[in-house]
């Protein structure tokens, strides 16, 4: 997530965007709207963004055109949102990395609070604490903690890279449980998962959409889901929160606009986004993708972002997490 793309970011100035003329929501939108997704096509963030864009286009009557702008752990695409004219015709998807994690690890060319107008929370991506059952034949979080306490640092876990949300999820868990395990970072989620399947590492925290098929095939075993509540696709699987309160983590996706976007436009987009999450088609597609709908209006979403940033700042500090 963090590899590459950062070398020039720290040197960039704070966003300077053209300011919109006075606007109301009455005629908005009267032309196509850009919706920036700061990830490559096919991932959870892209799926959420495209589903939302298609609904907004139908609901508001003008094209909402998705532009994939990946890079630097999503910071490059999110920077383009921050620098856009604040007239409602460039909006995009914020996420756990861009607004809660990276600001606590790197100097960025945007301020996650000052440079954006939150529109609404949209979705959570459930993750699973999983083990390779051949390498680590356990069946519960309690057994894992017992083994880790008996032999500090002996168990190893993979991640898609230092400072990623799933690495920090494991750090959060270890801090809450009072255990130490050895982190083996990989360059991406694919290599991390392959190392787990091959038994090169004992466990990891993985996105449910990727891990669930492997669990159903018996290649991996799930110990817990990381969302605050049990997941709809696995209602019998306990949450990590049930064993250790305060350890819930789920990569999230929400809609934002550049700061200064007129409030009537923000309110119109927020109302449409809230309606999107009520549609049976949305809920069915989310369930197919193991996504959890998560609605929140502009004020609640803004408060959520700040709370998430504070949470990860503390996890990073306590874990002495750094990235190259």
Residue ranges per domain, the chain?
33-125+251-319, 127-243
Does the pTM surpass 0.85? The reply is yes
Query: Which pLDDT score is estimated for 84?
Result: 97
Query: Which pLDDT score is estimated for 33?
Result: 98
Give the homologous superfamily in CATH for domain 33-125+251-319: Bordetella uptake gene, domain 1 (3.40.190.150)
Query: Which pLDDT score is estimated for 218?
Result: 96
Query: Which pLDDT score is estimated for 163?
Result: 92
What are the 10-residue block averages of pLDDT along the chain, 324 residues in total?
Answer: 40 48 73 96 90 97 96 93 97 96 94 97 95 97 97 96 93 96 92 95 94 95 94 92 93 97 97 97 92 94 95 94 81
Query: Which pLDDT score is estimated for 324?
Result: 67
Label residues 21-55 b or e (16+ Cβ within 10 Å = b).
Answer: eebebeebbeeebbbbbbbeeebbbbbbbbbbbeb
Q: Residue 198: CB partners within 8 Å, gap ≥ 6?
A: none
Smallest CA-to-CA distance from 173 within 262, 92, 260, 242 is with: 242
Query: Which pLDDT score is estimated for 134?
Result: 96
Tell me whether the CATH fold assigned to 33-125+251-319 matches the one assigned to 127-243. yes
CATH number of 127-243: 3.40.190.10
Query: Which pLDDT score is estimated for 43?
Result: 84
Peptide bond into 29 cis (omega under 30): yes
Structure tokens at 299: 């004020």
User: Which residue's entry shows tokens 């509540």?
Assistant: 229
Query: Which pLDDT score is estimated for 2?
Result: 41
Query: Which pLDDT score is estimated for 17?
Result: 52
């Amino acid at each position: 997530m963090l590899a590459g793309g950062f070398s020039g970011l720290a040197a960039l100035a704070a966003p300077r965007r053209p300011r919109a003329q006075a606007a109301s929501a009455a005629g908005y939108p009267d032309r196509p709207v850009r919706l920036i997704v700061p990830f490559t096509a096919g991932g959870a963030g892209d799926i959420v963004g495209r589903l939302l864009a298609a609904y907004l286009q139908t609901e508001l009557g003008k094209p909402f055109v998705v532009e994939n702008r990946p890079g630097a752990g999503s910071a490059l695409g999110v920077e383009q949102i921050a620098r856009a004219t604040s007239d409602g015709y460039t909006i995009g998807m914020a996420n756990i990395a861009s607004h809660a994690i990276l600001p606590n690890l790197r100097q960025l060319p945007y301020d996650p609070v000052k440079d954006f107008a939150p529109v609404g929370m949209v979705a959570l991506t459930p993750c699973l604490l999983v083990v390779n059952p051949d390498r680590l034949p356990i069946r519960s979080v309690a057994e894992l903690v017992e083994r880790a306490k008996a032999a500090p640092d002996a168990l190893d876990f993979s991640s898609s890279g230092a400072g990623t949300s799933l690495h920090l999820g494991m750090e959060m868990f270890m801090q809450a449980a009072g255990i130490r395990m050895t982190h083996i970072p990989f360059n991406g989620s694919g290599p991390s998962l392959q190392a787990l399947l091959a038994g090169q590492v004992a466990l990891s925290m993985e996105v449910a959409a990727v891990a669930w098929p492997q669990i159903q095939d018996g290649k991996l075993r799930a110990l817990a889901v990381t969302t605050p509540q049990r997941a709809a696709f696995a209602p019998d699987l306990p949450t990590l929160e049930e064993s250790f309160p305060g350890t819930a983590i789920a990569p999230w996706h929400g809609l934002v606009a550049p700061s200064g976007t007129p409030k009537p436009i923000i309110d119109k987009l927020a109302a449409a986004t809230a309606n999107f999450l009520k549609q049976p088609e949305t809920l069915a597609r989310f369930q197919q993708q193991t996504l959890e709908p998560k609605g929140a209006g502009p004020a609640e979403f803004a408060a959520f972002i700040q709370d998430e940033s504070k949470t990860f700042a503390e996890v990073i500090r306590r874990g002495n997490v750094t990235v190259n």
